[in-house]
């Protein structure tokens, strides 16, 4: 979740970089497209501007998800570029592009879906679903002072719904984690489907 939520991503919510007219974002978008046009083995994905996940994050996922044969392909591509003797170091763009051409996005996005599903299971394991948290918050009676607590203790129905401000805030935070995980999972699943349809 920390990887998914850098400050720059939070500044624009769940919208892709291409949705802004900011000059820096346009430059970033140009760089991303260049990364997909190296040897032409794979077409630039049509869903590129729809992804909410940053290119750095996707590159990291592709690298983690690489299989042995894909590692060999990346090495071969980079060898062709820099020469067998390694006359120079490949640039970051060249490495990203080689990884993309060897791996595509399907493996990376499947890994992301699996990680987010695991995260959701962990979040729900001891506290229930996002809806359970919403129900708790809707029915909660927040204790404002010790005097309020004493006066309400006689009513068992109210007692069951009493919670401190700290506990209420914790449930709000916990529900927020589940909501973010759910939204990111939805985006990842959609991107995975698009990737599989395009053979990427």
Quote the CA–CA distance of 44 and 32 in Å, as a whole number: 10
Quote the CA–CA distance of 154 and 24 in Å, as a whole number: 61
CA distances to 152, 183, 185, 188 from 117, in Å: 41, 11, 7, 10
12 Cα distance to chain centroid: 14
pTM of the model: 0.70
Q: How many CB atoms lie within 10 A of CB 130?
A: 19
Quote the CA–CA distance of 122 and 58 in Å, as a whole number: 23
| Range of the structural domain that residue 81 is part of | 1-104
Could you report the per-residue pLDDT of 159-173, keeping only the tens digit for each?
A: 556 878 888 889 999
112 assigned to some structural domain: no
The reply to whether 158 and 89 lie within a common domain is no
- On whether the CB atoms of residues 13 and 183 are closer than 8 A, the answer is no
**Number of domains forming the structure of the chain:** 2
For residue 109, what pLDDT band results from cuts at 50, 70 and 90? very high
Quote the CA–CA distance of 99 and 116 in Å, as a whole number: 23
For residue 102, what pLDDT band results from cuts at 50, 70 and 90? confident
The reply to whether 77 and 144 lie within a common domain is no
Q: How many CB atoms lie within 10 A of CB 59?
A: 19
The reply to whether 134 and 62 lie within a common domain is no
Q: How many CB atoms lie within 10 A of CB 94?
A: 16
The reply to whether 91 and 26 lie within a common domain is yes
110 assigned to some structural domain: no
CA distances to 5, 61, 111, 158 from 54, in Å: 10, 11, 15, 47
Percent of the chain with pLDDT over 90: 33
What is the pLDDT, as a whole number, of residue 199? 75
The reply to whether 98 and 34 lie within a common domain is yes
Q: Residue holding tokens 């985006």?
A: 187
By three-state DSSP, how is residue 4 classified?
coil
For residue 69, what pLDDT band results from cuts at 50, 70 and 90? very high
For residue 152, what pLDDT band results from cuts at 50, 70 and 90? very low
């Amino acid at each position: 979740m920390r990887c998914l939520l850098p400050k720059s991503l939070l500044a624009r919510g769940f919208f892709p970089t291409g949705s802004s007219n900011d000059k820096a974002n346009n430059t970033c978008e140009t760089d991303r497209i260049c990364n997909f046009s190296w040897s032409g083995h794979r077409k630039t994905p049509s869903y590129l501007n729809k992804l909410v996940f940053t290119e750095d994050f996707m590159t990291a996922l592709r690298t983690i998800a690489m299989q042995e044969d894909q590692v060999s392909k990346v090495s071969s591509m980079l060898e062709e570029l820099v020469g067998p003797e390694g006359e120079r170091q490949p640039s970051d763009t060249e490495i990203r592009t080689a990884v993309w051409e060897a791996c595509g996005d399907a493996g990376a996005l499947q890994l992301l879906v699996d990680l987010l599903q695991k995260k959701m299971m962990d979040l729900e394991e001891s506290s229930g679903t996002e809806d359970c948290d919403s129900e708790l918050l809707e029915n909660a009676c927040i204790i404002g002072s010790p005097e309020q607590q004493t006066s309400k203790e006689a009513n068992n129905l109210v007692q069951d719904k009493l919670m401190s401000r700290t506990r209420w805030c914790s449930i709000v935070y916990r529900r927020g984690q589940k909501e973010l995980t759910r939204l990111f999972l939805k985006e990842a699943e959609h991107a995975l489907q698009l990737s599989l349809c395009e053979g990427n």
